[in-house]
Amino acid sequence: MTRQKKPSEYNSPPKIVPEEDKDAFRLFDIENPDINLFNSIDDELIKVAGSELHVFKYEQDDDYDTLYNERRDKAYQAKPVTVYGQYDPRAIEENLTEFGIEITNDQFFTFNKDYLLDKLKRKLLPGDLIKPVFQNVYYEVFEVQEDRFDVYGVYHLVASARIFREAEKVFPITPDPS
């Protein structure tokens, strides 16, 4: 049985200022203990106001096409990692364009950086799948950015994702055995 971590244990170690920057003018102290406090508050706010999400980690291997920068048959972990994050659930839009029906539903997921690193045991990568517990839609992450606060450091990761259309092939629906 693993021990539950306290919010203060999700904090990253203090950043070391390079020698050339020691004389630079600073508006804040990098080793300020308030950084840990604000990070734990941010983590708690995301858990309270956010939603439960399943993350299926993308398994990278040597079968990677460098010409097209992709792998056609991606491998995902079968067992998802349950995390908390914030997103704005929206209805799927199907717009009729001159090229036919186009599904546009890019989604933005916000996570606490230290919490997510602790749960996934690695960074969130483009290619990972996110499935909200309350929706039957899979989203494939195509970009991950750090939402930066210059005064206190990085707390958030913002993952941009789009609908994963091959979900039925990767995660087939099995009939109920009863």
> CA–CA distance from 150 to each of 9, 41, 71, 73, 127 (Å)?
22, 17, 36, 40, 28
For residue 3, list its beta bridge partners. none
- Please indicate whether residue 169 or residue 115 has the higher confidence score (pLDDT): 115
Task: Please state whether beta strands 100-104 and 93-97 pair in parallel, antiparallel, or not at all (unpaired).
Answer: antiparallel
Question: What residues contact residue 30 under an 8 Å CB cut-off, 6+ apart?
Answer: 14, 15, 17
- Calculate mean pLDDT across residues 8-27: 55
**Position 163: which residue type?**
I
Residue 77 has pLDDT above 80, yes or no: no
Question: For the chain, what are the domain ranges?
Answer: 27-170
In whole angstroms, give the CA distance from residue 119 to residue 83.
7
How many angstroms separate the CA atoms of 78 and 41, rounded? 32
User: Residue 88 CA to chain centroid, in angstroms?
Assistant: 14
pLDDT number for residue 37: 78
Could you tell me the CA-to-CA distances from 155 to 72, 77, 91, 92, 134 in Å, in that order?
Answer: 33, 26, 28, 29, 25
Q: Which of 25-39, 85-99, 151-165 shows the lowest mean pLDDT across its residues? A: 25-39
Query: What gap in Å lies between CA 11 and CA 154, rounded to an integer?
Result: 11
- CATH hierarchy code of domain 27-170: 2.40.10
The rounded percent of the chain whose pLDDT value lies above 70 is 62
pLDDT tens, residue by residue, 112-140: 888 898 899 888 988 889 999 988 889 99
Predicted local confidence at residue 53, as pLDDT: 93
pLDDT of residue 23: 54
Assigned token pair, 83: 């995390």
177 has pLDDT over 60: no
Average pLDDT value for the chain: 76
